[in-house]
Amino acid sequence: QKEVEQNSGPLSVPEGAIASLNCTYSDRGSQSFFWYRQYSGKSPELIMFIYSNGDKEDGRFTAQLNKASQYVSLLIRDSQPSDSATYLCAPQASGGSNYKLTFGKGTLLTVNP
């Protein structure tokens, strides 16, 4: 069973701080990694994806990937109360199941004004 572990929340940060969300995965063959944001009572929303080792920046979001360590993270700079949500890490499965995303249980982030 391929597993995805995320830092257990809830994570609480003050407004304007950097929020750091971490994820480790067991499928060594995973090549693509996705971060989703899910507001309470809403559906998951794709916010970032990363394929290559290193950093990928998009606005206030930075995804970091280290395939050797099987580790992916999401940094949110200048956190806003509107960032308060559950963040889901989802590596894409390797091999014949490469359409399959395995989701972590998510980290609940609360940004305090």
Partner 1 sequence: DTAVSQTPKYLVTQMGNDKSIKCEQNLGHDTMYWYKQDSKKFLKIMFSYNNKELIINETVPNRFSPKSPDKAHLNLHINSLELGDSAVYFCASSQDWGGSYFGPGTRLLVL
**Residues near 10 by beta carbon (within 8 Å), at least 6 away in sequence:** 107, 108, 109, 110
Check the CA dihedral 12-52-4-36 and report its sign.
positive
Q: How far is the CB of 29 from partner 1 (least distance, A)?
A: 14
Least distance to partner 1, CB of residue 105, Å: 6
Stretch of 14-22, 59-67, 76-84, 103-111 contacting partner 1, by CB under 8 A: 103-111
**Among 12, 26, 80, 97, which residue sits at the site for partner 1 (rule: CB under 8 A)?**
97
Minimum distance from CB of 37 to partner 1 (Å)? 11
Shortest distance (Å) from residue 69 CB to partner 1? 21
Closest CA to 22 of 7, 36, 10, 38: 7
Chain residues 45-84 in contact with partner 1, contact rule CB under 8 A: 45-46, 49
> What separation in angstroms does the CA of 57 have from each of 5, 49, 54, 77?
23, 10, 10, 11
- Collapsing DSSP to helix, strand or coil, 83 comes out as helix
From the list 34, 72, 74, 111, which residue makes contact with partner 1 (rule: CB under 8 A)?
34
Q: Which of 8, 10, 16, 42 binds partner 1 (CB under 8 A)?
A: 42
